[in-house]
Amino acid sequence: MAELNVELIQKLRATSGAGMLDCKKTLTETNGDFDKALQILREKGKTQALKKVGRETKNGLISSYIHPGDRIGVMLEVNCETDFVAKTDDFKKLVKEIGLQIAAASPAYLNRESIPKDVLDKEKEIYRKQVLDEGKPEKIVEKIVEGKLEKFYQQVCLLDQPYIRDASGKEKITDLVKAVIAKTGENIQVRRFVRFQLGEEL
């Protein structure tokens, strides 16, 4: 194939968080198909991230974001393994982007594991009733309910939410975190957050 476009390689590096050589190699393998190369690198990043999941994260940053107009505020803690990575631009940018995500998309929970059982049971009950009321066969009810739950997770769980800057809607916040894990070589975890909106009920 023709010589790879340097701008395409740089774009892939910025989007995936992978190194230049990995980006060039993957683009060559996919014949310059950006989307396919990005998918391969994301899968590779997920694999690398899974290997690092058990490693301790005692460093990181506590960050705050106040939305223009001073009506919405966010405070969050994101952890990494070393103080060195916590001071890098990549880590700081990740923390900032997550703060913006929380302000804009108002997640109620960090991840699906943090949803209280009673809340989840209630959602399942509502979806099951909706599906049965639509007259769907009993044998496919659970499958449809699971599909509706996936959409619910993407609405209320920070890590499952589609990244607000990704127009395609395919990249999730967990993908954003995994890309920085792949780039820094350290385990990174979003530990907790709180979102304030002026006048909201306590």
**63 contacts: CB under 8 Å, gap ≥ 6:** 75, 76, 77, 78, 95, 96, 99
- Whether 171 and 87 map to the same domain: the answer is yes
- Whether 38 and 127 map to the same domain: the answer is no
- Whether 96 and 164 map to the same domain: the answer is yes
- Say if residues 44 and 182 touch (Cβ distance below 8 Å): yes
Which of 152, 157, 132, 155 lies closest to 142, judged by CA? 132
Please state, in angstroms and rounded to a whole number, the distance separating the CA atoms of residues 9 and 30.
12
Segments forming the whole domain that contains residue 14: 6-52
Domain tally for the chain?
3
- Say if residues 187 and 55 touch (Cβ distance below 8 Å): yes
Q: Which pTM does this prediction carry?
A: 0.73
- Whether 74 and 168 map to the same domain: the answer is yes
**Order of strands, sheet of 189-197, starting from the edge strand that comes earlier in the sequence:** 59-66, 72-80, 189-197
| pLDDT values of the chain reduced to their tens digit, one per residue, 202 residues | 445 678 888 888 777 767 778 888 888 888 888 888 888 877 776 555 555 555 677 899 999 999 999 999 999 999 999 999 999 999 999 999 999 999 999 999 999 999 999 999 999 999 999 988 888 888 898 899 999 999 999 999 999 999 999 988 889 999 999 889 888 888 999 999 999 999 987 7
Please state, in angstroms and rounded to a whole number, the distance separating the CA atoms of residues 41 and 55.
22
- Whether 68 and 130 map to the same domain: the answer is no
- What CATH number is attached to the domain comprising 140? 1.10.286
- What CATH number is attached to the domain comprising 163? 3.30.479.20
In a domain, 162, yes or no: yes
- Whether 17 and 98 map to the same domain: the answer is no
In a domain, 171, yes or no: yes
